[in-house]
Every structure is written in structure tokens, then in C-alpha cells.
Amino acid sequence: MNLKSVLLSTIAGLAFTIAAPLAASAQDCERGTLDVRYCDVDGDLVADTPTDPAELIDPDTLIFAYTPVEDPAVYKEAWSDFLVHMETVTGKKTVFFPVQSNAAQIEAMRSGRLHIAGFNTGSNPLAVNCAGFHPFTIMASLDGNFGYEMEIITYPGSGIEKVEDIKGKTMAFTAETSNSGFKAPSALLKAEYGMESGRDFEPAFSGKHDNSILGVANKDYPAAAIANSVMSRMIERDVIKADEVKTIYKSETFPTTGFGVVYNLKPELQEKIKEAFFTFPWEGSSLQKEFEKSNEGQFLEMNYKDFWNVVRKIDTANGVQYTCG
């Protein structure tokens, strides 16, 4: 298997269990990998919106949650102008719901307590399969670029010219919970190169991407797996010089946070919410102030089937199964 074409993100090599406060009734329909409470008759890999009006919801207050970060209060402020715009377009009160973990965010949507959300890259497949999440947009730069790549880097003169040359040396990772800093490169090294940590090379854990990058630039680590968006910012700030490191592997682009709605909102309301995303005036907004730091300035239309294809493939390669509870 050539994982260069499928390497991106893996949530973990384990099954997941998400609490399900609502009773789920199995339906006799096509559903693929979706939980038994959902159907996927049209084959787009997300839960079909119910055709029975009795199964649709039209809440007076819309609840929005952004993927968990270290300080949710910062993001409550960042999203404030957007939520005002959402209220104007939909005619409904909209509330920011600060979540403390990915599991809590998914459970909130599965239980009917969350209507609009931004789930991080790795959580999207789980949210889709277990919570009926319909992602339809991601943030992008004004020229349409989005995401970042995992790179394996070394320094000039290290004796490492290609991935196979890492054998017998030390390779730095960030932390075991990091996709680009550990999970994705580990899958790549094992599946494509037959190399395993502890057997073919010695792993070192730096704790953060910038630590790994600085470690390579300072020749403390012969090689490291990093997110290139972090490296680019460090080069721009003159923390390191571009010629102090070199890349020997670059993955495909990771999609960023996927934004969308829960599957059983009334179709008219789903369309109004989409309208709010795609008509939001970024210029001078609290959202622009926060996200222009990562060169993001618009919402780009997307779909789960295509944009998350490589994420699903790496999950499959790692034997990931979603147990929704």
C-alpha cells in the first residue's frame, strides 16, 4: 500500500465510544459506516435528512460550538460577530457553547443539544458517523488555499537524504496525541517503508512542533515529523532560517476544521445556516482578527465525501472502527 496517496490523519487506532442519551432505533436502509439511527440512501456518506416532518427539528435557539481549544473564552469572543450575523440571517437566537473535549462536542450533537459546529480534522469522521454531522464548509485563505501538510525534516549534512536513511538514527515526534506530529508519520513509516519505532529508529518526543523544528535546526535531532504551517511561521518570524532544515517527505494537504449542521434540522433552516456562512462579511470582524493569523479569510464550500477521503483511508488502513454506543 502506498500511503503517500492516503496519508493525512488518524483519530486513533482504537474504536471510539460516544455516550448516546437518546434512544437509537435501527432502520432498514442503506447506511454504510453510519450508526444504526441514520440512513444514507443517496450514498454521500453523511446521514440523510429525514423526510418525515415529525423527525425534523426547528429550535428557537441555535447552539454553536467550535472545536475545543485551550481557552474557549477567546473563541467565544472571536465568533461573536459571526453569531450576530447568523441571528440576522436565520432570525433565530444563536448561542456559543464552549466545549472542553472532542468527545463532549460529538456527544452534544448526538444528543440533540448542538445544532451547528466546527469539528477538527480528526473528529469529522466520528462526528459524521456517530452524531449525524453534515460538514459543508472549511476556512480558507482569500486565494482558496487551505490546510497544512505533515513533513519529515532533517538538516543539511545529517546524512539523511531520504526517509529510509532514518534507520538506526533518532527521529523526533511531538506527542502521541498529535496527528501530524506522531500518528500520521508513524503510519507512513510502518506501511510504506516497513519501519517501526524502537526497532528501526529511536523515537524522541519534543512536546511541541516548534521544539521539534528547533531541535532539527540546532542539530539536536537528525529528523522530525512536523506540521509545515508551524515551520512556515517560524521561518517568517526568523526563529529559524529556511536553509537550516530540509524536507525529505511531504504529505497531501490536511483539511482543516469542518463546519456544518446536525442532519435533522429542517431543510429550510439548514439552507439559511449555509447562507450565513457564505455571506459573512469578514472585513473588520472579530473572526478576521483571530483567524487572519493563520491566513484564513473566507468560508470555502466543501463536502465530506471528497475532502475527507484521505482521512477515512488512513483510518481504514489503521483498522479504526467507530463504536457509537
Q: What is the pLDDT of residue 6?
A: 33
How many CA atoms are closer than 13 Å to the CA of 280, on its beta-carbon side? 28
Question: Last residue of some domain: 197, 231, 250?
Answer: 250
* 227-269 pLDDT, tens digit each: 887 888 788 779 999 999 999 999 888 888 899 999 999 999 9
Q: Give pLDDT, residue 18.
A: 40
Distances (CA, A) of 91 to 18, 60, 85, 265, 300: 32, 9, 10, 15, 23
Final residue before a domain boundary, out of 250, 276, 293: 250
Which of 201, 230, 250 marks a domain boundary? Answer: 250
For residue 300, give the 3-state DSSP assignment.
strand
Q: How many domains is the chain built from?
A: 2
Q: How many residues does the chain have?
A: 325
Same domain, 118 and 183: no
Whole-number Å distance between alpha carbons of 175 and 207? 5
Do 59 and 113 lie in a common domain?
yes
Range of the structural domain that residue 94 is part of: 3-145+255-323
Asked if 314 and 3 touch (Cβ cutoff 8 Å), the reply is yes
Amino acid at 266: K
**One domain, residues 45 and 186:** no
Beta-bridge partners for 201: 197
**Rg of the chain, C-alpha, whole Å:** 21
- Looking at the structure, tell me whether residues 100 and 246 fall in a common domain: no
Q: What is the CATH classification number for the domain harbouring 261?
A: 3.40.190.10
The pLDDT of residue 30: 93
Do 140 and 268 belong together in one domain?
yes
Find all residues with CB under 8 Å of 198, minimum gap 6, and list them: none
Residue by residue, pLDDT tens for the chain (325 residues) are 333 333 333 333 333 334 333 434 456 899 999 999 999 999 999 999 999 999 999 999 999 999 886 567 778 999 999 999 999 999 999 999 998 888 899 999 999 999 999 988 778 888 999 999 999 999 999 999 898 889 999 999 999 999 999 999 999 998 775 678 887 888 888 888 999 999 999 999 998 889 999 999 999 999 999 988 788 878 877 999 999 999 999 988 888 889 999 999 999 999 999 999 999 999 999 999 888 877 899 999 999 999 988 778 777 766 777 778 7
Q: What is the number of other CB atoms lying within 10 angstroms of the CB of residue 173?
A: 23
Q: What is the pLDDT of residue 306?
A: 92
Task: Assess whether 40 and 185 both reside in one domain.
Answer: no
